[in-house]
Amino acid sequence: MYSIILCGGSGTRLWPLSRKNFPKQFLSLYSEKSLLQETFFRMKDLMPAENIFFVTNQQNYFNVHNQIRDVYKSFNQAQILVEPASLNTAPALALAVKFLTEKLKISQDEPIIELHADHFIGNKAAYLELLKKATSQMNGYIATIGIKPTGPETGFGYIKLGEKAGDYYKVAEFKEKPDLETAVKYVERGEYRW
């Protein structure tokens, strides 16, 4: 099992706490660790630290390097992949998967967990259990974890629930950061998750 932690975001929604040169994923908001460090330790509970990779932009490279090195002295800087250009989630994820499959030669059947460095996870044990269950039952599928929206939000992607398959739903579609009118409709329908 491997993980890809996306940490190249600009973190503009928490200004003035976060700044262009120090986005929210590098802030300590609810513990002594930064959001990035919290994410790293969650994944370290599931897999060896050398299986955890980071994708960031050139501007955030040293923030990632320094923060992970501060909490894990054996950290290898080759675990940081730098995007040639900041183009959002899909290209960053593609870069990392290409690196893992072509450079490290991992099997295409190997589970890869992709997550963002700036999430708050209130119940770590339940979250890790959910990840273990999802990765053990993927059977060649791509799994995503969604939460029910609490209101319309234009800064998140929306997952439309499809056909129920056992404990899970197939994904009918994914919509990246809709406008407000569309986000309101998605929340009202009740069939979308963030």
What the chain holds in terms of domains, given with CATH numbers, is 2-142 (3.90.550.10), 146-194 (no CATH)
Q: Is the Cβ–Cβ distance between 152 and 183 less than 8 Å? A: yes
Average pLDDT over residues 166-171: 85
pLDDT for 153: 93
Residue-wise pLDDT tens digits, 81-122: 999 988 888 899 999 999 999 999 999 888 999 999 999 999
Average pLDDT over residues 32-44: 97
pTM of the model: 0.86
Residue closest to 12 by CA, chosen among 93, 84, 115, 118 = 118
| Token digits of residue 56 | 């960031």
